[in-house]
Structure 1
Amino acid sequence: MTPTISGAARRLLRGLAALLLATAGAAGATSPAGAAARAAEPVPGTLVSSQPLPLDLWLPGTGAAYRITYVSTPADPAAPAPVVVSGAVFVPQGTPPAGGWPVIGWAHATVGVADPCAPSVAGRPQRDVDFLGAWLRAGYAVAATDYEGLGTPSPHPYLRGASEAYGVVDAVRAARAADPKGSLSRTWLAVGHSQGGQAALFTGALQASYAPELDYRGSVALAPPSQWRTLIAAAEPFDFDPAKPASPFVFLLLEMMRAAHPGAIDPAALLTPAGARLFPEVQKSLCVGDLIQRLSGHVNGDFFAIDAAERETFTDLLIKDAEIPITRQARPLYIAQGTADTLVFPPAAQTTAGLLAQAGSAVTFRFYGGADHLGIEAAALPDLLSWAADRLHDRPAG
């Protein structure tokens, strides 16, 4: 089933677009009309729609669940309007503690770039069901973004970190409005795996200025991709060598580059005829699991025609959009990395953790022996729950 945005969301976007077009060129205006127009712009985190989530998409320990759409900030700062993003909210069973359930802002791993891949519609892999169910049973609500462009109009800017982080933060804001009992706390943690681990670290870097009204306590990043030059050179799934097994991630990154850097990257010039035939399916319907199956037995050269200069341009743009910001983060970080991970390069995660610590962030980094890219959730879970409980006893920032 292909998810569709609600009529209310469409009206919101149309109205906002008309407002911005009408006031184009008047950004510096000081008239009462100009001020009123700016005041009428939808606020990021505003809830657009909420409806009960089908029972077959509930997580263990769920007492109530909703599929939501909400206003968020787009990846492109020059975009003429905010975007509407979809996601899901899971409220634990039982009676909330004083002050409400603390919230996990969940950032999911790679699912694809097509709308049908949105987890709030397609569901979640069993590893996520088990992982998030444990958080619910531990007394956390879960606000799970689908990310910009997954399940709603506009392209999904895959691995564009700021966009992912805005989606995470605004899902937490919207989740509090979606719960009719008002049982969700201001206190929250960002937690993510793989693409979502990258999102969680971006979230920590921008949340203080973006959402000061929330009581953010820290971020958990499981197997976050980072150090992109090293990763492309060392991790086979991101290797453009035409003789290597065909990589689904190159297709996904081409879609991000197409949307984010149309003047610099032209996917048509980087695809073979077979790649050009498959690319529209990746954009519209193929989720990552099915895409991996379609590529089985093929090599990169069957689909991609990327020379050394194009690879360098590709890498530079990826670093610009997707590299973890190395800055002092105000709240603690936990980075967990499996030693048997062949998707992201384990030493790269350790390097990023060290650089963040040198910048003044409070970083806990741990290798999990024998854990691969998918197994890191289960391997790290007991430590993460303990670490998160300690963070809830910290004094609020600021």
Structure 2
Amino acid sequence: MRFKHPKRAWTTGLIALLTLTASGAGTAASAVADGTMNHGSATPGPVVSNRNAGPGQLLKSERLPKTLWLPNTAKAYRIHYGSTSHDGRRIAVSGAVFIPRGNAPKAGWPVVSWAHGTVGVADVCANSRSGRSQRDTEFLQSWLAAGYAIVATDYEGLGTHGEHAYLNGNSEAYGVIDIVRAAQQLHEPLSEAWLSVGQSQGAQATLFTGATVRRYAPELDYRGSVGTAPTTQWRLTASVAKPFDPETPANPSVLLILAGLRTTHPDFDPAGYLTPFGQQLLAAAMDTTCFTAIAQQLAGRPSTDVFAVDAAEEARLLDLLESDAEIPIVRHSDPVFLGQGTADLTSYPPATALTAEKLRAVGNDVTFKFYQGADHGGVMAAAKADILAWAADRMR
């Protein structure tokens, strides 16, 4: 059955949700924010930089502090590993590895490479240092309880040298893939079979992973891509959300998009798209302030307080976003599962449905499900049983 999602209703709901998020209202904030509960409270420790490291080379491992462990964890590591940047350079990326309790199967623990949602672009936002939201924790502990090891990249430039290439799909995919390679060097009983699983920004990352993995890492035993509430179909979503209209509340994600484009396109200067207040916020976001704190600072402010974007500039932004971030409609060698909540006011539900249809049209094995009444964050819990069952079938 085709889902009907009126544009006017979604736009009205989005405005209301962004207003609540910016004021720090509990559940509304968690519905949009994909990051940790303690944004910006952690001080990053020493990081590793090795420009000569091969993709997936384990550079450093240490015990993850128990305060950052997920439930159902037997052992956990913080690691640094070699990967590839958005522009093809060799870089170091950080992340975490969680080993489940119990005895490993004969072939080793199957692996989930977790791709997290939006947390921010500053080093202090890296999940391997600042922890994870209750929503993500509850979702991930279910994978551990089901007998999966979890490897969780921080992505390029989060917790390591350089800047975060926010929403650059190739960069995200490389981080998701290379942490699987690196974890195999920890001498833990890990299976060679693995899946990529992600939410929001991370769902976009998993779809780029599925499109990339056979070319980038043909030696790996990849079994499929799982995503909930992916960021996709930018022009369609922008036509509904109207992020730069004077009556639209300022959207903190747009600020992070500008930061990401500055990283991936050296000739792009976000200052011209921002008011003086917006420029101050961007500087803070690049240094110390994570997503939730940015949203709180935008409490009650209209878009025009932060952004100064005309029609031509918006068109250029969309061109750059499509170049960096639009999910590629290509043939995957492995199945795809996509879940989308009907009450999601962050990822536009018809946009997710359209991407699923396009992926099917080029010959992909796509399982796509709407979850009635689930919002942006709630879709993870709503879809969890279906996802775990789908994953079990892939791992046989």
1:54 maps to 65
Does the CA-based 8 Å contact 2:193-2:220 persist in structure 1?
yes
1:326 and 1:148 mapped to 2: Cα distance?
24
1:216-256 deviation per Cα after TM superposition (whole angstroms, max 9, x unaligned)? 000001000111100111236xx122321011011101111
Which residue, out of 218, 243, 250, partners 2:247? 243
Matched, 1:43 2:54: yes
**C-alpha displacement of 1:363:** 0.2
Q: Deviations over 1:110-155 (max 9, x none)?
A: 0000100000001000011000000000000000000000010111
Give TM-score, length-normalised by structure 1.
0.88
**What SS does structure 2 have at the residue aligned with 1:220?**
strand
| 2:159 maps to amino acid | G
Separation (CA, whole Å) in 1 of partners of 2:109 and 2:390: 17
Q: What is the Cα deviation at residue 303 of structure 1? A: 1.0
Are 1:219 and 2:230 an aligned pair?
Answer: no
Matched, 1:328 2:352: no
1:5, CA displacement in angstroms?
Answer: 4.0
| Contact map agreement 1:241 1:300 (CA 8 A) in 2 | yes
**What 5-or-longer segments of structure 1 have no aligned partner?**
17-41, 394-398
**Percent of aligned pairs with the same amino acid:** 54
Please say if residues 118 and 150 of structure 1, whose CA atoms lie closer than 8 Å, have aligned partners that are also in contact.
yes
Identify the match of residue 123 of structure 1 among 119, 131, 147. 131
* Residue 96 (structure 1) aligns with: 104
- The structure with the larger Rg is 1
Match of 2:192 in 1: 186
Higher RCO, 1 or 2 (CA under 8 Å, sep at least 6)? 2
Q: Confirm whether residue 363 of structure 1 aligns to residue 366 of structure 2.
A: yes
Matching residue of 2:163: 155
Separation (CA, whole Å) in 2 of partners of 1:321 and 1:188: 25
Q: Alpha-carbon deviation of 1:276?
A: 1.4
Q: Could you tell me how far apart the structure 1 residues matched to 2:244 and 2:66 are?
A: 42
Q: 1:293 aligns with which of 296, 300, 310?
A: 296
Structure 1 partner of 2:6: none
1:275 aligns with 2:286: no
Picking from 142, 160, 184, the partner of 1:134 is 142
Aligned length: 355
Tell me, yes or no, if structure 1 residue 262 matches structure 2 residue 303. Answer: no
Quick one: which amino acid aligns to residue 326 of structure 2? E
- Aligned to 1:3, which of 44, 55, 62? 44
AA matched with 1:134: S
| Separation in 1, partners of 2:235, 2:282 | 25
Specify the alignment match of 1:346 in structure 2: 349
**Residue 63 (1) aligns with residue 74 (2):** yes
SS in structure 1 of the partner of residue 333 of structure 2: coil
State the 1:206 CA deviation. Answer: 0.5
Match of 1:314 in 2: 317
Counterparts of 1:62 and 1:176, CA distance in 2: 17
| Aligned residue runs from structure 1 range 364-379, under 5 A | 364-379=367-382
Q: Once the two structures are superposed, what CA deviation does each residue of 1:180-205 show, in whole Å capped at 9, x if it has no partner?
A: 3x301110000000000000000000
Q: Which of 174, 184, 196 in structure 2 is aligned with 1:176?
A: 184
State the SS of the aligned residue for 1:384: helix
CA deviations on 1:350-386 (whole Å, 9 max, x unpaired) are 0000100010110000000000001011000000000
Task: Please say if residues 47 and 68 of structure 1, whose CA atoms lie closer than 8 Å, have aligned partners that are also in contact.
Answer: yes
Q: Which amino acid aligns with 1:333?
A: V
Normalization by structure 2: what TM-score? 0.88
Paired position in structure 2 for 1:38: none
Between the aligned partners of 1:278 and 1:292, the Cα distance in structure 2 is 10
TM-superposition CA deviations, 1:305-358 (whole Å, max 9, x none): 011000000000000110011011110000000000000100100000010001
Task: Give the AA of the match of 1:241.
Answer: D
Contact 1:74/1:148, CA 8 A, preserved across alignment = yes
**Amino acid across the alignment from 2:373:** G
RMSD: 1.0
Deviation track 1:7-51 (CA, whole Å, cap 9, x = no partner) reads xx33x33xx3xxxxxxxxxxxxxxxxxxxxxxxxx3200011100
Number of the residue aligned with 1:208: 214
Structure 1 ranges of 4+ moved more than 6 A? none
Structure 2: which 5+ residue stretches go unaligned? 1-41
